[in-house]
Structure 1
Amino acid sequence: MIRFDKVRVSFDGFTAIPELSLEVEKGEFFTLLGPSGCGKTTALRTLAGFVDPEGGDVYVDGQKVTDLPSDRRQIGMVFQNYALFPSMNVRENIAFGLRVRRTGKAERERLVADIARRVDLTEDQLNKNVTELSGGQQQRVAIARALVLEPKILLLDEPLSNLDAKLRQQLRGELKQLQADVGITTVYVTHDQDEALTMSDRIAVFNKGRIEQVGRPQEIYDRSATEFVCTFIGDSSALSPEFISELNRSGTADLDPSRRCYLRVEKPALTTTLPREPAAAGTISIRGTVSARNYHGLHSRYTVNAHGSELKVLIKETGHPGPQPGDTVHVSLNPAHVLQYQATA
């Protein structure tokens, strides 16, 4: 559906994207994820036609669109600040692109009413000024304005970043459901790992203008291809060479202590007594000392010092008192969950 073929983008001598080759399948909710300044928004704007690459080509449905103006690419875009017109009511905002196209009044009204129903905007809301709407409702207006033109592709540039945390959480599910209902190919830009993991069919992780890994959320999280992906996505503990050597000594693990090693915080288990037998085949128990405990309601986050490592362990709360700082504990883990990467100079 979408293909970047060796796309290169520079600004005033600075190379924002050295070379981007990427494919997005039809109907996917595809996320470009990475820290600020990594090139993800530049890639999105290049697809939209707002940025001209100095090399390579962009294809949509097999057609090269590199030299096509943005209004001929059949792409709808929702900006970070929504870019709604405060002097217009909701209905007028949604119909704006149709007016520019010189769509007839009857057809325009039909299309606006149809898309309003699909994004759950009421007749009463259509007649309100956009400044009277909540942040979530304004987002629906921005999406409706993009979808009413019946584009092939919907682009979303950090559309939830200006909302409070609770509303952001609520709208993730709504936005993903809306995309699934409409069935439109969607490219979503965010720096928020939770958004990417919970909403995406696939994710491309960007770093300094290059893609580090492309894959499904679970693959990105559990089998991070590079050290950058591992440390950027989710939370993990860096394991010392001494800790790795102890794993090798205590069981059947065959890990390389010279490589950089990490363990996701939810993978290990914590007990105050040495388990009589492993909870699962291949599990190894390592003794350590609790240095910190942080309570988060549904779970507590422990820091355990063991063999030169500060091991972070996420434990679900049961209502019973857990280990406290200074307590000796046993951390059980499966060495197969350890992620290893070649040390770089």
Structure 2
Amino acid sequence: MIQLSNLRVAFDEFVAIPDLNLAIEQGEFFTLLGPSGCGKTTALRSLAGFVQPSGGSIHIGGKDVTHLPSDKRRVGMVFQNYALFPSMTVWENIAFGLRVRKENKSIREKLVREIAVRVDLSPAQLEKNVSELSGGQQQRVAIARALVLKPEILLLDEPLSNLDAQLRHQLRDQLKELQHDFGITTVYVTHDQEEALSMSDRIAVFNKGQVEQVGTPAEIYDTSATEFVCNFIGGSSVLTSDFVAATGTAAGTMGTGTGTSSYLRVEKAAFDPSGAAPGAVAADAAVVSRSYFGLYSRYTVLCHGAEINVLHKENGGSGPQPGQRVTLYIDPEHILHYDAGTGLRVLPGQRQPEAAAR
């Protein structure tokens, strides 16, 4: 559906994207994830036609659109600040693109009413000025304005970042449901890892204008291809060489002389053997601290010189206390190893870095 080939974007002497290659499938919810300034929004704006690349090509549905104006690409865009017209009613905002396209009045009315129902905007809200709506309602208006034009692709640039946490969670589910109902190919930009993991079919993790890894949420999280991805996605504990040796599994010899860095995801360690993986090994540890969150507590324990974070389900608040000795259960297969020189993942016994999707 979408193919970015050797895409290069430069602003004077600054190269925002040196060489980007991405393939996005029809009907996919595809997320560009990364920290601020990593190039993800630049990539999205290039796809929309707002930024002209200095090299490479963009194909949509097999058609080269690299130099095509944005209004000829059949894409809908939802901006971070929604870019609505505050002096217009909700109805007028949604119908704006249809008027530009010179659709007749009866068709405009039909399409606006249909899309309003789909995004849960009432007839009374359609008559209000957008300035009278809440942030969540304005976001629905922005999405409706994009979808009413029936684009082939929907582009969203951090559309939930200006909302409070509770509303973000609510609209996240609604947005994914809308995308599923419409079956529209969606490219979503965010720096929020939880958003990306919960909403996406696949994710591309950006770092300094380059893609570190492309994969499903499970692949990105459980088998992070690079040390950057491992550290950026979710929470991990940094392991000592003594800890790694004690588990009975270490990374292979790299031949670089730089050694390896090792990590363990917070939910991969357990105090209870019944909750541990079948291949888990036991290690003695001491509780350093405990933070209570109701359904679970987050512990820091000291084990073979490493401070390991553990998520432990609460049972009446009777979990281990600071200073107490505990047994920690870890499956060696869950430990992620990275070559300290290249940052690429190393599998146990492997002599060369695992190839990352760059």
Using structure 2 for the length normalisation, give the TM-score: 0.92
Residues 35-86 of structure 1 show CA distances to partners (whole Å, capped at 9, x for unaligned) of 0000000000000000001000000000000010001001100000000100
Q: 1:289 aligns with which of 286, 289, 299?
A: 286
- Give the number of equivalent residue pairs: 337
Amino acid at match of 2:260: R
Q: Distance between the aligned counterparts of 1:111 and 1:327, measured in 2?
A: 65
Whether the aligned pair in 2 keeps the contact of 1:244 and 1:256 (CA below 8 Å) is: no
Tell me which residue corresponds to 1:344: 341
One of 299, 304, 312 as aligned partner of 2:301: 304
Shift of 1:278: 10
Q: Separation in 2 of the partners of 1:313 and 1:146?
A: 43
Aligned to 1:92: 92
What residue identity is the alignment partner of 1:219?
Answer: E
Structure-1 separation of matches of 2:276 and 2:186: 42
1:325 is matched with: 322
After superposition, give the CA deviation of every residue in 1:136-162 in whole Å (9 maximum; x if it has no partner).
111110000001111100000000000
**1:89 Cα deviation (Å)?**
0.5
Deviations 1:83-136 (Å, cap 9, x if unpaired)? 010000000000001111111111111111111111111111111111111111
Alpha carbon RMSD of aligned pairs, Å? 1.4
Matched AA of 2:151: P
Instruction: After TM superposition, list the pairs within 5 Å mapping 1:44-123 onto structure 2.
Output: 44-123=44-123
TM-aligned CA distance change 1:95 to 1:221, over 3 Å: same
User: 5+ unaligned residues in a row in structure 2: which ranges?
Assistant: 254-258, 343-358
Partner of 1:266, secondary structure, is helix
- d(CA) in 2 for partners of 1:72 and 1:314? 50
> How many angstroms does 1:256 deviate by?
4.7
> Which residue is equivalent to 1:190?
190
2:22 corresponds to = 22
**Residues 194-343 of structure 1 mapped to structure 2, 5 A cutoff:** 194-248=194-248, 253-256=249-252, 258-270=259-271, 280-343=277-340
Alpha-carbon deviation of 1:255? 4.0
* Contact 1:79–1:156 (8 Å) recurs in 2: yes
1:280 and 1:14 map into 2 onto residues whose CA distance is: 48
Helix, strand or coil: the match of 1:168? helix
Shift of 1:299: 1.1
Give 2:178's aligned residue: 178
Matched residue type, 1:295: Y
Is the contact between residue 34 and residue 205 of structure 2 (CA under 8 Å) also seen in structure 1? yes
CA–CA distance in structure 2, aligned partners of residues 129 and 320 of structure 1: 50
Could you give the per-residue CA deviations for residues 180-214 of structure 1, whole angstroms, max 9, x where no partner exists? 00111000000000000000010000000000000
Q: 1:302 to 1:256 in 2, by over 3 A?
A: farther
Other structure's SS at 2:271 match: strand
Give the SS at the match of 2:286.
strand
Paired-residue identity, %? 65
Separation of aligned partners in 2, 1:32 and 1:287: 41
List alignment gaps of at least 5 residues for structure 1: none
**DSSP-derived class of the 1:177 partner:** helix
Asked whether the equivalents of residues 278 and 284 of structure 1 are also in contact (C-alpha less than 8 Å), the reply is no
Q: Which amino acid aligns with 1:290?
A: V
Matched residues in 1 for 2:295 and 2:31: separation? 29
Pick closer, same or farther for the CA change 1:232–1:307 going to 2, 3 Å: same
Matched residues in 2 for 1:198 and 1:164: separation? Answer: 17
User: Structure 1 stretch 324-333 or stretch 37-46: which is displaced more?
Assistant: 324-333
Q: Which amino acid aligns with 1:315?
A: H
2: CA distance between counterparts of 1:300 and 1:5?
46
Which residue number corresponds to residue 347 of structure 2? none
Distance 1:122 1:210, change over 3 A: same
Distance 1:278 1:174 in 2: 33
